[in-house]
């Protein structure tokens, strides 16, 4: 009986061990052949997963069309589109890269490239192997999607930060509309005149791209990062520039007080007609135009001592390290960034094309006067480089920046905190 009892216990122990081992394999797996990113059917057809951000059904449908175009060109490649909202997309992506279950085709934003390269596959060998000519791509966004000399994604859109303004509010206040190359002084005086009756001339928020574009232009040389990739938030010129930008809210009062962390703050204030100007990327301009109940105009970032300056950002598609079918994935990525597809995306205003040859398509749907503004912006902008851990910096900028904007701390103190607490 003793032996039988023992064997019973032993089988239970074995069963438990098997379960735990199974759990371990499931939890730590990822090096296996079966990948969530893609699978191959018996007839050689490959199904690839593509992770993308999308804000709604309409957005999703537009990207689904892009996925379908891949299958049209390569009938044995099928794309399964997975979408999530922009912010969640990166949270999910990091977790999935860690678990080795990332989608094969990964969408990547230039600001965040540095943080995810360890889970992504460099594309240089595939570019060479397939003889893909990358000269048509805007060089600044190619640089934005590269890291350590390796290309991690091919871009689909690009854009230099610009000012969007409410034409109706300018007209009502009798303020002349901004011209290409207008100065910081012009901007401040317009903002002051437009701030009246509970409305504001401008809306600022401590989010990196827009804020640092304004600060760069105003100071001429204050940048958040040096050439070696270190944060340089505590330089004198950065402190001065940040203080100026925060004081638009805190001292000059031409921008509304910020009610806590709210990433949509500038957009809602602008669309509500509560603020006459905001900083934006061309990627959101046509959407703004569609949503706004007033005329939207574009202007360059107000020029400081060295003329107008701006940053470029954009996004593209890359391939995850865990993807079992990189060749097929590369075919998909190069189709998704082909002149044909980008031209279509540009024409419907989904993206300002990263390929120079089809950028004119975007203007077909844009509004009068946008071309000289974007041309001037693109000519005076440089890629926005980030540290490899950018998300925490962005979060800290919002947390401490809001205090500075609301006048409860100085720019110097806020920047000190962000610089100190940011991961190296």
Partner 1 sequence: MSDDAIGRPAAVAGRRRPSRLRRDGRAAAFFAAPSMIGLTLFTLFPIVLSLVMAFFQWPAVGERTFAGVENFTTLFTDPVFRRALLNTLLFVVLYLPLNLVVSVGLAVWMGPRIKGRKALRVVFFLPVVTPMVANAIVWRMIYQPNGLIDGSLYAATGTHAPNFLGEPGWAMFAVVAMSVWQGFGYNMLVFSAALDAIPRHLLEAAQIDGAGPWRQFFRIMLPMISPALFFASTMTLITSFQVFTQPFLMTGGGPGMDTETLMMFVFDKGFSIYQYGLASAGAWILFVLILGVTAVQFVGQRRWVTYDV
Q: Which residues in this chain contact partner 1 in the complex, by CB under 8 A?
A: 1-2, 4, 8, 12, 16, 19-20, 22-24, 27, 91, 94-95, 97-98, 118-119, 198, 256-262, 321, 389, 391-392, 395, 398-400, 402-403, 406, 408-409, 417, 421, 423
Nearest to partner 1 of 75, 260 (CB atom): 260
From the CB of 317, what's the least distance to partner 1, in Å? 19
How many other CB atoms are there within 10 angstroms of residue 243's CB atom? 18
Paired tokens of 403? 């205090």
Of the candidates 209, 16, 205, which has an alpha carbon nearest to the alpha carbon of residue 110? 209
d(CA 98, CA 101): 8
Nearest to partner 1 of 119, 159 (CB atom): 119
Nearest to partner 1 of 94, 295 (CB atom): 94
Nearest to partner 1 of 35, 321 (CB atom): 321
The DSSP secondary-structure symbol of 256 reads P
d(CA 343, CA 249): 40
∠ Cα 60 66 72 (to 5°): 135
Nearest to partner 1 of 42, 260 (CB atom): 260
From the CB of 175, what's the least distance to partner 1, in Å? 23
State the pairing for strand pair 38-40/46-53: antiparallel
From the CB of 117, what's the least distance to partner 1, in Å? 9
From the CB of 114, what's the least distance to partner 1, in Å? 12
Of the candidates 305, 207, 302, which has an alpha carbon nearest to the alpha carbon of residue 263? 207
Of the candidates 265, 281, 300, 258, which has an alpha carbon nearest to the alpha carbon of residue 349? 281
From the CB of 401, what's the least distance to partner 1, in Å? 9
d(CA 87, CA 224): 22
Nearest to partner 1 of 142, 418 (CB atom): 418
From the CB of 423, what's the least distance to partner 1, in Å? 6
Residues 6 or more apart whose CB falls under 8 angstroms from that of 262 comprise 205, 268
């Amino acid at each position: 009986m003793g032996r039988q009892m023992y064997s019973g216990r032993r089988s239970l122990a074995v069963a438990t061990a098997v379960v735990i081992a199974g759990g371990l394999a499931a939890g730590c797996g990822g090096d296996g052949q079966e990948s969530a990113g893609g699978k191959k059917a018996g007839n050689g057809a490959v199904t690839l997963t593509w992770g993308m951000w999308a804000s709604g059904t309409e957005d999703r449908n537009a990207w689904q069309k892009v996925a379908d175009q891949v299958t049209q060109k390569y009938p044995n490649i099928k794309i399964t589109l997975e979408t999530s909202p922009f912010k969640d997309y990166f949270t999910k992506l990091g977790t999935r890269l860690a678990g080795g279950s990332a989608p094969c085709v990964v969408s990547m934003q230039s600001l965040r490239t540095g943080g995810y390269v360890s889970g992504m596959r460099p594309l240089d060998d595939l570019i060479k192997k397939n003889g893909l000519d990358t000269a048509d791509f805007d060089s600044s966004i190619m640089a934005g999607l590269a890291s350590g000399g390796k290309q991690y994604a091919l871009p689909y859109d690009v854009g230099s930060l610009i000012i969007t303004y409410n034409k109706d509010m300018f007209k009502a206040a009798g303020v002349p509309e901004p011209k290409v190359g207008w100065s910081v002084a012009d901007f401040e005086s317009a903002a002051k005149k437009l701030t009246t009756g509970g409305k504001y001339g401008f809306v600022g928020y401590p989010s990196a791209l827009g804020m640092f574009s304004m600060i760069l232009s105003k100071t001429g040389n204050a940048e958040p990062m040096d050439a070696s990739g270190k944060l340089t938030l505590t330089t004198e010129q950065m402190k001065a520039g940040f203080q100026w930008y925060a004081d638009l809210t805190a001292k000059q009062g031409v921008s509304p007080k910020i009610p806590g962390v709210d990433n949509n703050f500038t957009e809602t204030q602008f669309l509500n007609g509560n603020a006459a100007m905001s900083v934006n990327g061309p990627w959101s301009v046509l959407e703004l135009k569609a949503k706004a109940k007033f005329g939207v105009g574009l202007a360059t970032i107000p020029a400081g001592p060295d003329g107008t300056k701006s940053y470029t950002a954009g996004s593209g598609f890359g391939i995850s390290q865990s993807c079992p079918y990189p060749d097929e994935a590369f075919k998909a990525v190069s189709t998704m960034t082909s002149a044909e597809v980008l031209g279509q995306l540009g024409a419907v205003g989904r993206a300002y094309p990263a390929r120079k040859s089809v950028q004119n398509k975007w203007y077909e749907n844009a509004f009068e006067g946008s071309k000289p503004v974007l041309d001037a912006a693109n000519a005076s902008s440089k890629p926005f480089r980030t540290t490899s851990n950018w998300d925490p910096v962005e979060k800290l900028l919002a947390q401490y920046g809001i205090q500075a904007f609301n006048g409860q701390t100085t720019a110097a103190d806020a920047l000190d905190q962000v610089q100190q607490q940011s991961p190296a």
